[in-house]
Structure 1
């Protein structure tokens, strides 16, 4: 016999598990967009001072902004791991 009391938390955990990667992806898009805007601004401001390449500078900005938000990224990654364990336990 199927215990309905166990199915409801499992469905809730699976729904939360689907939402967490979306939140992580949204955060990554925000970081990339901010880096793109910043790279464009810096490129326009300083045309005389050349960097090694625009892509390299964009990647440096992405890394810097990700480092600034590492707590939020780490929290989401931990939440995702806990949800995986919870679903595995059911």
Structure 2
């Protein structure tokens, strides 16, 4: 294989890792959004309820955290599976880079660069 082919293969591996990472973040956002939607149904209050203060009480926060935990637990297998896949992909990318003499790049820094672009 040529260096160009190695770089192309590495790019495919990194794209697959980014896709897995995006899927994991999507699941986390879905869980948080679902918990928030459930909270709005629990927290039906009159519009003039304590106008000068926040309507979010300590009890609401506890209920939100409990709901978030339940929803996260209901999808924990999917989240753990994707997390393990990310670890395997990171290891495979690092090994590929070492084997073919390509520079090491921290995947989190790489992802931060993609978000900024």
TM superposition score normalised by structure 2: 0.64
Q: Write out the 4+ residue segments of structure 1 that deviate beyond 6 Å after TM superposition.
A: none
Q: What SS does the corresponding residue of 1:26 show, helix, strand or coil? A: helix
| Mapped partners of 1:27, 1:21: distance in 2 | 10
Q: Which residue of 2 aligns with 1:24?
A: 24
Instruction: Provide the aligned length of Structure 1 versus Structure 2.
Output: 85
TM superposition score normalised by structure 1: 0.81
Structure number with bigger Rg: 2
Q: What SS does the corresponding residue of 1:44 show, helix, strand or coil? A: coil
| Mapped partners of 1:81, 1:68: distance in 2 | 22
| Mapped partners of 2:43, 2:3: distance in 1 | 61
Unaligned runs of 5+ in 1: 46-50
Structure 1 or 2: more helix by fraction: 1
* 1:87 equivalent in alignment to 2:93: yes
Unaligned runs of 5+ in 2: 46-56, 97-117
Q: CA RMSD in A?
A: 2.2
